[in-house]
Chains A and B, each alone.
Chain A
Amino acid sequence: MSGGALSEALAHPETSAADGDLGASLAGSPAGPWRRAFRRLRRDRAALGAGIVLLVILVASLAAPLYASLVSRTDPFRSNLSGKIMIDGKRTPIMQPSTEGRGLGVTPIGPTWRGSYFLGADAQGRDVAARLLHGGRNSLLIAGSATAICLILAAIIGTTAGFLGGGVDMVLSRILDVLWAFPVYLLAISLSIVLISKPIIIGPITIGSGSLILPIVIIGLVYAPYVARPVRGQVLALRNSEFVLASIGLGMPTWRILMRDILPNVSTTLIVYIPLMMALNITTESALSFLSVGVQPPDASWGTIILDGQGLLYTRPAVSLAPGVAIVITVLALNLLGDSVRDALDPRAGLRR
C-alpha cells in the first residue's frame, strides 16, 4: 500500500461523527476526554457493527482447533490424497478424476457445504475451511503483534527524537528518512529472503525459518517510520508548548514531563493508528505469504491459502476466494473502526460539521 495515501488518510479525517457532547458536558461535571471519546464511539453504529464483526472473526479463528476436531474432523496440516468422505451415504474420494481437459490427473473435491470439507479441499487434499480458521489465527496474530511492535518502536523513536532534539533528532530523523523512502514490499522481501532461508541463531535463541516471529518483526519494522514521523512532529510541538515549558521551569524531572505531559497526548495519536495499522498489516502479511516469503508451509495464513488456491483458480475457485473474502471483511471492519476511533478522539470532529 502507499505511504502517501496512508499519511494523507490520517491527516484528513472525514467529518462524520455527530455528537451532542457539548450540551452534556456543560450540564454536569465535564467528562474526561477518554470517557467522552468512548461515549461517542459507543453511539457510533458503524463502529459497533465493525467491532462485532471483528469479535466474531477473532472468536472463530481462536476456535480453529475445536472446529477441526469436532466439526470437520479433518487435520488441516496433513495432506490427504487418498482419503474418502461420506456424502449422502456414499463414500466419495477427496481427490476426484479431473473433468477438465482429457480427464487426466485429479481435482480436489469442491465445497460440500457439510461439516467436513465445507469449502472443499486444496491440492493436497486438506480441508480448506479448517485451514481458513487456522490461517485466520496466524494472520490476526501476525498483524496484531506487528502492530504492537510498530507502535512501540514508533513511540520510542518519535518521542526520543522529538523531545531530545538536536543531534539525536538529526540522526534519528535521517534514519527514518531512509527507511521511509524504501518501497515497503521491497524492504520486506529483502529482509524475508535473507532471514527465511536459514535458521538464525542469536546466542541461546534459535529462530527457525518457519517461525512466525520473522514476519511479525519484519512487518512491524517496515511500517514503524510511517508512525514515528508524525509522533516526532507532535512531540516536537508539545516540547515547545507553554505547559511543558512551565513544567521545565518548575524543575520537574524529565521522566515526569514525559509521563505526565507528553505521553497522554501521544497516546491518542497511537490509538488512532491501531486499527489502521492492523488493516495494513493484514494486507501486508497476506501479500508476503502470497509471495512465499511470509508464513511458511505447512503452516497456514490467509495469504498462503490464496497462494495454494492459485493453481486451482479456474477449477476450484473457493480455495482462493474464501481467504480473500475473509481478508476483505476483516480489513473493511478495521477501516470502519479506524475512521470512528479517529473521529471520536479528535476534539475538533464535532466542530467541523
Chain B
Amino acid sequence: MPGSGGEPMIAVIVARIVQMLFVMLGISVVVFLIFFATPGADPSARIAGRNATQETLAAVRKDFGLDRPMPVQYVLLMKRLFVTGDLTSFANRGQRVIPQIMDAAPITLALVLGAAVLWVVGALVLGVVAAASRDTLLDRGLMGLALIGVSMPVFWFGEVMNLLSQSRMHDTIFFSWVPSLGYKPLSDGFAPWFKTLVIPWFTLAVLYIGFYARVLRANLVETYHEDFIRTARAKGLGPLRIMLRHALRPSLIPFVTMFGLDFGALVGGAALLTEVVFGLNGIGRLTYVALQSLDLPVILATVIYASFFVVAANALVDIAYAALDPRVRSGR
C-alpha cells in the first residue's frame, strides 16, 4: 500500500479477529458437512458406532436433531459443543465428550511445550554452527543430519526410540532411567513427570530441529551477503559479534513465524502420532482411541476444538507481529 504510515493497532486487531471468526465459522461448517452430509452411510449410523441397536439409532437421531433441516442441525451441534458442553458419546455409553478433552489438554501442552524448547535451542545451535562453518565438512555433516531428521516419520522414530530405551538398551546406563510408557501427572512429583516426557520431547523435536536448522542456515548465509554485514566487517567487528548481533537477528524473522504456526498445529493435533506411540493420553491419543472405536462425537469435538485453537494461535501470532513490526501494519 503506497504512502501509508500504518493503520492504528486497534484496527489491525479488529480486522484480524474478524478474519479469525470467519475462518472458525468456515471450519465448523466444513467439519459439520464432513460428518453429517457426506454421501454414503446415514449419519446416525456413523455416530452410534459399531453394531448399534435400533434404539440407539433412534436416540442418536433425536439427540442430534437429524430429522430436522441441516441449518438447525448445525446450530444444535454448535450449541452442544460450545454453550451447553453436553455432547455425549454413544459408542462409549453416554460419556460426556468435552470434559474428556479438558482432561487431555494439559498433557498435550506439556508434550509440545517441552519439545518446543528443545527444538528452538537445538535448531539455533545447529543452524548457527552450520552457517558459521559453511561449506566445510562440519556444515555438510550437520545439514545431512538435519535432512535425515526431516525425512523420518515421527511415529516410526518414536518406535525406534522405544525399541532402544524400553527393550534393547534398557539395561545399559543410557536408558536404565527410562520409566515404562505412559504419562505421570506433575502432581506425582517433578522427576517422574520429567522422565516420562524426555524421550517423547526429543522424538517430537528432532523433525523440527532439522527443519528449522536448515531454514536458519539458509537465511544466515543469505544475510551474510547483505551490505550491512560488509559494513560491520569493515568496522572491524569480530566474527562472533557479527554472527550473533548482526546476522542472526534479521535471520530469525521467518523462524519466529514458523514457530507460531507449528506450535499451534502441534497442540492442535499434529502431536497425535507422538502421543500414540508413547501412550500419552493427550488430545491426539484421545482422538486415536476414538478412531479405533469409531466414536465419532469425540473425533468431531477434538477436531473442532483443536482447529479453533490453531486458528486462534495464528491470529495471536499475526497480532503480535503487527505490534512488533510497523511494516506489517502498512503492508496489509
Chain A residues at the B interface, C-beta cutoff of 8 Å: 1-5, 8-9, 11-15, 174-175, 177-179, 181-187, 189-191, 193-195, 197-202, 279, 283, 286-287, 290-293, 306, 310, 313-314, 317, 320-321, 323-324, 327-328, 331-332, 335-336, 352
Q: Which of A5, A12, A14, A202 has the most CB of B within 10 A?
A: A5
A2 B294 Cβ-Cβ under 8 A:
no
In terms of DSSP, what is the predominant structure of the interface of chain A?
helix
Chain B residues, CB < 8 A from A182? 27, 30, 307, 310
Closest-CB distance, A340 to chain B (whole angstroms): 12
Query: B257 touches which one: A4, A183, A306 (CB < 8 A)?
Result: A4
A13 B218 Cβ-Cβ under 8 A:
yes
In terms of DSSP, what is the predominant structure of the interface of chain B?
helix
Closest to A182 in B: B307
Residues of B in contact, count (CB < 8 Å) = 73
- A201 and B35 contact, Cβ closer than 8 Å, known pairs A15-B222, A193-B291, A336-B147: no
Flag whether B104 is at the interface (Cβ < 8 A).
no
Chain A residues, CB < 8 A from B46? 194, 197
CA distance A178 to B25 in the complex (A): 9
Cross-chain pair count, CB within 8 angstroms: 193
A287 B40 Cβ-Cβ under 8 A:
no
A190 B261 Cβ-Cβ under 8 A:
no
Closest-CB distance, B199 to chain A (whole angstroms): 14
Chain B residues at the A interface, C-beta cutoff of 8 Å: 19, 22-23, 26-27, 30-31, 34-35, 38-41, 46, 147-148, 150-157, 159-160, 162-163, 166-168, 207-208, 211-212, 214-215, 217-219, 221-222, 225, 254, 257-262, 265-266, 268-270, 272-273, 276, 287-288, 291-292, 294, 296, 299-300, 302-303, 306-307, 310-311, 314
Chain A residues, CB < 8 A from B147? 332, 335-336
Query: A200 touches which one: B26, B39, B159, B167 (CB < 8 A)?
Result: B39
Closest to A282 in B: B153
Query: A178 touches which one: B26, B212, B259, B268 (CB < 8 A)?
Result: B26
Closest-CB distance, A287 to chain B (whole angstroms): 6
CA distance A310 to B273 in the complex (A): 13
Closest to B31 in A: A190
A328 B152 Cβ-Cβ under 8 A:
yes
Closest 5 CB pairs of A and B: A4-B261, A178-B26, A324-B156, A4-B258, A331-B151
B269 A185 Cβ-Cβ under 8 A:
yes
Chain B residues, CB < 8 A from A328? 148, 151-153, 156
